[in-house]
């Protein structure tokens, strides 16, 4: 039975699952595979070195799928920031219908994209930020709990709380992000008011993810305790795979005499993290992963994974429905 949620209706997808826009992972191979399997695949704009390279990647994706897919733009502090408007203009020029935004001060980019009729899905780690994004006119919000990989925010609130608060406060539909890898998780998110889920670490561990197989095997072998939180001292907390570099960086950050970011910068280099995905040495640099690794036990194709999630979610919803004894709903309603 196909799912019918605000997300599936608006995006034209069969299964309410969005692939996270992950740096160095969101290439055409993965995005097209997720879309072909019934979810929404996402290209990562800043994985491409220039806006014109993004244009080429969009064209490459269209050769691999005729299904809807989107593009992620994450706005982060930088001494020399990327040309965000130029990336946004390529997205507009290429007729992309869905954009996932994240990061700081997204207003100008959201306004630019909305003026072209693009559906915006904005990622937030707090209800306060979600309300601000809602005021900007976004169409969907992605509520990122403390369980997520990468930038987890500074509040340490899990999805059990955030999703219920989102249901209380938000007027636009939202999806759940952080800690999701299976159909039971999808069913739980729907029960807490979400209209779908976002998965990052789970999609890294698929056949089509364009990263070294050693990384995928490390995810399968890890458990839920195998992550490290870094950069909290500089209010840029990131959840990373707990490898030798991350552990050493944590020791440095925990030293009360360390005050400046430059002391830890060589350990959290994005360039070194990218090499992990290319060369397969999981201890060479830091890379993002969530505690949902404890749930992940295999490396399926995206088609197998999404079909399994669809079946598990349907079965879970039926099972939960069976807990209600016939006739009791009416009597409870009278209380």
Q: Are strands 227-230 and 238-241 parallel, antiparallel or unpaired?
A: antiparallel
Query: So what's the pLDDT on residue 335?
Result: 39
% the chain with pLDDT above 70: 97
Query: So what's the pLDDT on residue 292?
Result: 98
Note the pLDDT tens digit of each residue in 128-141.
999 999 999 999 99
Interatomic CA distance for residues 190 and 197, integer angstroms: 8
End-to-end CA distance of the chain: 34
Confidence of residue 334 (pLDDT cuts 50, 70, 90): very low
Rounded to the nearest angstrom, the gap between the alpha carbon of residue 119 and the centroid of all alpha carbons in its chain is: 17
Mean pLDDT throughout 270-275? 94
Query: So what's the pLDDT on residue 78?
Result: 78
Note the pLDDT tens digit of each residue in 212-248.
999 999 999 999 999 999 999 999 999 999 999 999 9
pLDDT at 328 over 70: no
Confidence of residue 327 (pLDDT cuts 50, 70, 90): low
Confidence of residue 325 (pLDDT cuts 50, 70, 90): confident
Interatomic CA distance for residues 162 and 164, integer angstroms: 5
Confidence of residue 331 (pLDDT cuts 50, 70, 90): very low
Note the pLDDT tens digit of each residue in 183-201.
999 999 999 999 999 999 9
% the chain with pLDDT above 90: 93
Interatomic CA distance for residues 230 and 203, integer angstroms: 23
- Average per-residue pLDDT for the chain: 95
Query: So what's the pLDDT on residue 333?
Result: 39
pTM of the model: 0.95
Note the pLDDT tens digit of each residue in 5-61.
999 999 999 999 999 999 999 999 999 999 999 999 999 999 999 999 999 999 999
pLDDT at 72 over 60: yes
The crossing angle, in degrees rounded to 10, of helices 302-321 and 28-36 is 40
Write down all domains in the chain, each with its CATH number in brackets: 6-210+300-314 (3.20.20.70), 213-279 (no CATH)
Mean pLDDT throughout 272-301? 98
Query: So what's the pLDDT on residue 326?
Result: 76
Mean pLDDT throughout 299-321? 97
The full DSSP string for 9-31 is HHHT-SS-EEE---TTT-SHHHH
Confidence of residue 79 (pLDDT cuts 50, 70, 90): confident
C-alpha to C-alpha distances, 84 to 104, 110, 150, nearest whole angstrom = 12, 11, 21
Confidence of residue 1 (pLDDT cuts 50, 70, 90): low
Q: Which residues pair with 119 in a beta bridge?
A: 98
Contact assessment for residue 141 and residue 124, using Cβ atoms and an 8 Å cutoff: yes
pLDDT at 155 over 60: yes
pLDDT at 329 over 60: no
Confidence of residue 104 (pLDDT cuts 50, 70, 90): confident
pLDDT at 208 over 90: yes
Interatomic CA distance for residues 304 and 310, integer angstroms: 10
CB-count exposure of residue 180 (10 Å: 0-12, 13-18, 19+): buried
């Amino acid at each position: 039975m196909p799912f019918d949620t605000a997300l599936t209706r608006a995006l034209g997808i069969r299964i309410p699952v969005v692939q996270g826009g992950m740096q160095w992972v969101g290439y055409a191979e993965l995005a097209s595979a997720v879309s072909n399997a019934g979810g929404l695949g996402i290209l990562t704009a800043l994985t491409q070195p220039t806006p014109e390279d993004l244009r080429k990647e969009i064209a490459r994706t269209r050769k691999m799928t005729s299904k809807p897919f989107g593009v992620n733009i994450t706005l982060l502090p930088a001494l020399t920031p990327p040309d965000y408007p130029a990336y946004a203009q390529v997205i507009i020029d290429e007729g992309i219908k869905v954009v996932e935004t994240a990061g700081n001060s997204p207003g100008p980019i959201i306004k630019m994209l909305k003026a072209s009729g693009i559906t915006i899905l904005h990622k937030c780690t707090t209800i306060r930020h979600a309300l601000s994004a809602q005021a900007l006119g976004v169409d969907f919000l992605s509520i990122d709990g403390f369980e997520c990989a990468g930038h987890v925010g500074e509040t340490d609130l899990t999805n059990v709380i955030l999703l219920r608060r989102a249901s209380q406060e938000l007027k636009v539909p939202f999806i759940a992000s952080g800690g999701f890898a299976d159909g039971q998780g999808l069913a739980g998110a729907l029960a807490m008011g979400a209209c779908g889920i976002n998965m990052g670490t789970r999609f890294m561990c698929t056949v089509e993810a364009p990263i070294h197989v050693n990384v995928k095997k490390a995810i399968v072998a890890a458990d839920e305790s195998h992550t490290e939180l870094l950069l909290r001292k500089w209010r840029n907390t990131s959840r990373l795979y707990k490898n030798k570099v991350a552990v050493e960086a944590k020791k440095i950050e925990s030293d009360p005499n360390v005050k400046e970011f430059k002391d830890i910068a060589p350990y959290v280099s994005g360039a070194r993290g990218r090499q992990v995905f290319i060369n397969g040495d999981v201890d060479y640099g830091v890379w993002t992963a969530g505690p949902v690794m404890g749930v992940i036990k295999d490396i399926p194709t995206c088609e197998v994974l999404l079909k399994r999630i669809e079946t598990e979610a349907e079965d879970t919803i039926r099972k939960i429905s069976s807990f209600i004894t016939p006739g009791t709903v009416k009597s409870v309603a009278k209380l």
